[in-house]
Amino acid sequence: MERPGEGQGESAIAERPHGGSVGARLVISDSSHLFTMVATLSWVALVAAPLLISSALDALAGGIPLLGVALWLGLLRVARWLSPLTRADALIERSAYADALALCDETLGVSGVGAWVGRRRLAWLNRRFSALLGLGRYDEALAAAVDAMEVSPDPETIANFAFALLRLNHYEGAITAAREASALTHGRSVRANATLAWAMLARGQPAEAEALASMSLADIEALSPYVRRENHVTSLSALAHAQRLLGMRRHASATVARLRRLTKRSPTLVSAALLEEASLSANEPAHAAELVTFAFASDPAYTGWYLTQPDALPFLREAPEVGPLFAQGAEGQARMNTRTPDDEVIARLLASLRPDERARPTLQRSGAALNTQLITLTATVILLLFWMWRFFISQTF
């Protein structure tokens, strides 16, 4: 794939900035081989040996074999909770984006035998993209999306690339990339459809935006609970925006109410609900200005981007308490765009893609670790059935 690092405005992709040091934190490496060994040995010690010994001695042993099975299953569950990818997801879900970014950078910085490689590395690259996006570092998020596409230009990575372009107001590139992602998933890419909805709003086509946002929300209902909350918020906010522009105020108010319920526990995502509520408050400019101020305090980057959209809160552009935020948002977007590729470079990159329709979803576990779990769980069921037959079923005949 052609690298978009040659020419004006391409330093964000060329430099690949990473997060800073986080002190004495433990660097996370790919320890799936260690998990495989520990899972196998603990299974032998806690499950296989007690069940076989109990059967050989013809003694129930006070139910200790069953306790060993329960303990081993509990250990598997704890291991899943403590896995690095689960920790990164939990941090992103809590909007702790700086901590999530630090974890991703530490993990991706590991080299040698402990490094995450191939499509398993892609899982971390995609999480790094989400963390940078949450922090409002859209130019760096674009670079992270390109890194991920170099590993696998699949629907998820292309949709991420499209979304980063949207947040940098590169609408045409965002539309092209989002349509590519939607084509690979037969229209069922939540992020791609949400991106297209916002791009249509920027083009002044609210009817098309309303249809795309509705399609995205229908897919969210079908795919729940596997859809990230930020994608749900993006789709709802696009729908509310489009409904307001189409004069569907009652529907827009209902959509904003859904947004408030979804974002009330997230200090950053709540800004989307506040801004859409402000857009519905044209008859109460003072209240709308207060909502925008709160939104800016919650998430300056998203609010700044929202205020640069063509039809965003026109009745507040001259308000003394909010007017400077419009200028600040425009300055922030311009600053990031000096570090991002121009439209020609983006077009060349998109043209060079060889999308991989089959590479979905992103693999997160190693084959050895997954096979170990499947084999040991199957063997546990077989041993349990034999043990129960030996002591309970056979004795009834």
What is the DSSP code string of 115-131? S--HHHHHHHHHHHHHH
Q: Of 337, 260, 267, 347, whose CA–CA distance to 305 is shortest? A: 337
Sign of CA dihedral 87, 92, 93, 94: positive
Q: For residue range 304-317, what is the model confidence (pLDDT) as tens digits?
A: 999 999 989 999 98
Question: pTM score, two decimals?
Answer: 0.78
- CA dist 102 and 244 (Å) reads 39
Position of tokens 């949450």?
134
Q: How far is CA 202 from the centre of its chain?
A: 24
Residue 379 has pLDDT above 80, yes or no: yes
Residue 15 has pLDDT above 80, yes or no: no
Q: Which of 10-19, 120-129, 169-178 has the lowest mean pLDDT?
A: 10-19
pLDDT tier, 377 (very low <50, low <70, confident <90, very high otherwise): confident
- CA dist 257 and 277 (Å) reads 9
pLDDT tier, 163 (very low <50, low <70, confident <90, very high otherwise): very high
Sign of CA dihedral 234, 239, 240, 242: positive
Percent of the chain with pLDDT over 70: 85
pLDDT score at 183: 87
pLDDT score at 160: 95
Distances (CA, A) of 333 to 14, 169, 222, 236, 327: 19, 8, 35, 23, 10
- CA dist 234 and 190 (Å) reads 10
pLDDT tier, 158 (very low <50, low <70, confident <90, very high otherwise): very high
- CA dist 207 and 7 (Å) reads 37
Residue 20 has pLDDT above 60, yes or no: no
pLDDT tier, 247 (very low <50, low <70, confident <90, very high otherwise): very high
Q: Of 149, 98, 95, whose CA–CA distance to 122 is shortest? A: 149
Q: Are 91 and 103 in contact (CB under 8 A)?
A: yes
